Amino acid sequence: MKKAKRLAALLLAAGMMVSMAACTSVSDSSSSNNSSSSDSSASGESSTGESSIDKIKAAGKIVMATNAQFEPFEYIDGTDFKGIDIEISQKIADELGVELEIHDVKFESVIAEITTGKANFAAAGMSITEERLKNVDFSNEYFSATQSIVVMKEGSSVAKPEDLKDKVVGVQTGTTADTYVTDEKGENNVGVKEVKRYNSFVDAANDLMTGRLDAVVMDDFPATKLVEKNADKIMKLDDELTGEKYAIAVPKGDKEMQDLVNKVLADMEESGEMDELLTKYIGEE
């Protein structure tokens, strides 16, 4: 598989269509946050009758938005992007015969990359939620996920979900873990003392290991990877807090893009590539 490289998108005047060659190294993610590329505008069919797919082919690239701090789904290894979502996204690019360009942004900015036309789709270990469906559409589901609790290996007073009550808990901003722990609707009866939000789960885990948090709530498989790298300090509880599905976000109303992504996912399922990909990064269930 071709290795996807990070590119900062260039700020272009409205209406301009400029094709940009892929870079070979990871660049600063903040530039992706501020970038704007009208040739990757995420709408269905334009007033001239040109579809989003037509624009992508004309530009010679397709733009994916992600937050590459979510191993094994997306992460940076040296100067390369790796992970399950990265390889799926490369398949989407290959289907059209174009280059894959990756915008690595804060997780809470991933949806905005689509709604502002900076990205054609988003793959970021993203669950389908009612709130997100207000702004984007989703592909078919491709992975079942749960939320887990990470605590200190020694001396933790949190041994089960009920123990989160009156505790200081860390989450990544804008994630379903954030929604679950914040519990604004009072559906989960979590009752934490304080929710601290971070740009990444790694930052939250660092605060856990320095005593600033009682626990971190995060997606199960990234939690497993995080614990593997800090096995002498932290551990993951066996309890699963939620059940949810990952899917790929596409522009609202862009059925052509949605159909493209669904075709790639279906082809990977039928050929066995999806199972091989999950085994490669996660292992046998």
Tens digit of pLDDT at every position of the chain (285 positions)? 444 433 333 333 333 333 333 332 343 343 344 333 434 444 455 555 789 999 999 999 999 999 999 999 999 999 999 999 999 999 999 999 999 999 999 999 999 999 999 999 999 999 999 999 999 999 999 999 999 999 999 999 999 999 999 999 999 999 999 999 998 888 878 899 999 999 999 999 999 999 999 999 999 989 999 999 999 999 999 998 988 899 999 999 999 999 999 999 999 999 999 999 999 998 855
- Determine the topology of domain 29-142+247-281 in CATH: D-Maltodextrin-Binding Protein; domain 2 (3.40.190)
Give the Cα-Cα-Cα angle 31, 246, 265 (nearest 5 degrees): 95
Helices (H), the chain: 29-34, 52-59, 84-96, 110-115, 130-133, 176-182, 201-209, 220-229, 255-271, 273-281
Measured in residues, the chain has a length of 285
Distance CA 232, CA 163 (A): 22
If we measure between CA atoms, which residue out of 234, 176, 170 comes closest to residue 207? Answer: 170
β-sheet bridge partners, residue 121: 64
* Buried/exposed code over 211-249 (b: 16+ C-beta within 10 A; e: otherwise): eebbbbbbbbbbbbbbbeebeeebbbbeeebbebebbbb
Range 145-244: architecture per CATH: 3-Layer(aba) Sandwich (3.40)
What angle do the packed helices 52-59 and 255-271 form, to 10 degrees? 70
| Model pTM above 0.85 | no
Cβ–Cβ < 8 Å for 80, 3: yes
What's the pLDDT score for residue 184?
A: 83
Distance CA 58, CA 72 (A): 32
If we measure between CA atoms, which residue out of 85, 187, 92 comes closest to residue 130? Answer: 187
Using the Cα atoms of residue 83, residue 135, residue 257 and residue 37 in order, give the sign of their dihedral.
negative
- In sequence order, the 6+-apart residues with CB closer than 8 A to the CB of 12 are 18, 36, 37, 38, 39
Q: Where in the chain is the domain with CATH 3.40.190.10?
A: 29-142+247-281, 145-244
- 88 is written with which tokens? 């799926």
Q: Measure Cα distances from 204 to 66, 156, 274 in Å.
A: 19, 16, 30
Question: Which element (helix H / strand E) includes 77?
Answer: strand 74-77
Residue whose entry in the numeric block shows the structure tokens 């020694």: 154
Question: Which element (helix H / strand E) includes 249?
Answer: strand 249-251
- 52 is written with which tokens? 């989003």
